[in-house]
A and B are shown apart, each in its own frame.
Chain A
Amino acid sequence: DTAVSQTPKYLVTQMGNDKSIKCEQNLGHDTMYWYKQDSKKFLKIMFSYNNKELIINETVPNRFSPKSPDKAHLNLHINSLELGDSAVYFCASSQEWRKTYEQYFGPGTRLTVT
């Protein structure tokens, strides 16, 4: 059983398009995250949701809009894609109440903007 899944795994699109990435976790966790990993492997947190409520919103262009329809899902919509948006995007989840804080990551979505 996949714990944290993302779709699609690869996404190639042109500048100016709008695209979405979906994330689902079946771990029963109440906190979910989006990260961006650049070509040098540097990880940057973008957003975090706890029980469908936004709790972390880093300095991210407002072209990026997360949406959490329920605790198990966190989607990322990107408007007007730019070349600099090319990266690998990771979804992650954690169970806060256990106080262990480790995060479980999805396999990533490699976004290429041409």
Chain B
Amino acid sequence: GNSVTQMEGPVTLSEEAFLTINCTYTATGYPSLFWYVQYPGEGLQLLLKATKADDKGSNKGFEATYRKETTSFHLEKGSVQVSDSAVYFCALMKTSYDKVIFGPGTSLSVIP
């Protein structure tokens, strides 16, 4: 079946450090891939997405590239801020009538 694996957290970084959160997936065909972010006390919101191989999604300084050969969609940011502290979820979806498969989430804390 379809599944998403993320690196375990929590991840703690100093401000301006480089961030990588690994995400790998298992799915047949060509799913769409997403990163969602959940700030404390809020619902999830879409951070970025990619719908086909080699696509790069980007938003708010975050980037992720859809790598079909390694079935990965790692999230990166060159310089994190305290305001990036949140839980990050990698997710995939095959079609609009399929359920979204979320990874377990990775908690990020950025300290000044």
| Alpha-carbon distance A4/B49, docked complex (angstroms) | 20
Q: What's the tally of chain B residues with a CB closer than 8 Å to chain A?
A: 22
Q: Is there contact, CB below 8 Å, between B32 and A101? A: yes
Given contacts A41-B38, A42-B104, A90-B44, contact A101 B96 (CB under 8 A): yes
Size bin of chain A's contact surface: 20 to 34
For the residues of B in contact with A, the DSSP-based class is strand
Enumerate chain A residues within 8 angstroms of B107, measured Cβ to Cβ.
Answer: 41
Interface segment out of the listed A14-22, A59-67, A69-77, A92-100: A92-100
Q: Is there contact, CB below 8 Å, between A42 and B32? A: no
Q: Is there contact, CB below 8 Å, between B104 and A41? A: yes
The interface bits of chain B over 11-28 (1 if a CB of A lies within 8 angstroms of the residue's CB, else 0) are 000000000000000000
The interface bits of chain B over 91-108 (1 if a CB of A lies within 8 angstroms of the residue's CB, else 0) are 001001101101011010
